């Protein structure tokens, strides 16, 4: 548990440094075999990139350094409970474990409220606040058929 606390302290330090640079108060650390592989801090406003969350940046860096899209065997430490986008990326990356410090309620209390996304996801797409329409499905299915029939595909 001592190592886990040290890695979390690093994520927290990254979140504080992010605030000092004008970013959001979020940091993340990816660890494999007890070694830090990658770190990230929020840079949404600095890079005008709504996906530049700490976890996403750390995941991208870890995948690049490890030369794999599958981060099995890795642990991610986040200074805050991940938002829906980051949580989705953590699942897709196949992390062995996630540790977080602040909760989504703590984040909500300072203006980072993701609850509307969780509520939207429960709704039928036609009932969501963002207008959503499916078009050209038949044309798009061609790519899915090509994937399904490709004998040498790399599944992920």
The residues assigned a catalytic role are: 55
d(CA 85, CA 151): 31
Report CA-CA distances (Å) from 35 to 62, 75, 118: 12, 10, 33
Could you give the 3-state DSSP secondary structure of residue 74? Answer: strand
Could you give the 3-state DSSP secondary structure of residue 54? Answer: helix
- DSSP-assigned beta bridge partners for residue 35: 32
d(CA 17, CA 26): 9
Classify residue 36 by its DSSP letter.
E
């Amino acid at each position: 548990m001592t190592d886990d606390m040290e890695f979390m302290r690093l994520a927290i330090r990254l979140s504080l440094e992010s605030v000092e640079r004008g970013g959001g108060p979020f940091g993340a650390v990816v660890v494999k075999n007890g070694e830090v592989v990658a770190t990230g801090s929020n840079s949404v406003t600095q890079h005008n990139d709504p996906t530049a969350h700490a976890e996403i940046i750390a995941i991208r860096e870890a995948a690049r350094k490890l030369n794999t899209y599958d981060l099995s065997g890795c642990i991610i430490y986040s200074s805050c409970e991940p938002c829906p986008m980051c949580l989705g990326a953590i699942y897709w990356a196949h992390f062995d474990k996630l540790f977080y410090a602040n909760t989504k309620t703590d984040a909500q209390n300072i203006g980072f409220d993701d609850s509307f996304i969780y509520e939207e996801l429960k709704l039928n797409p036609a009932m969501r606040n963002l207008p959503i329409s499916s078009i050209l499905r038949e044309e798009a299915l061609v790519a899915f058929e090509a994937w399904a029939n490709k004998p040498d595909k790399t599944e992920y």
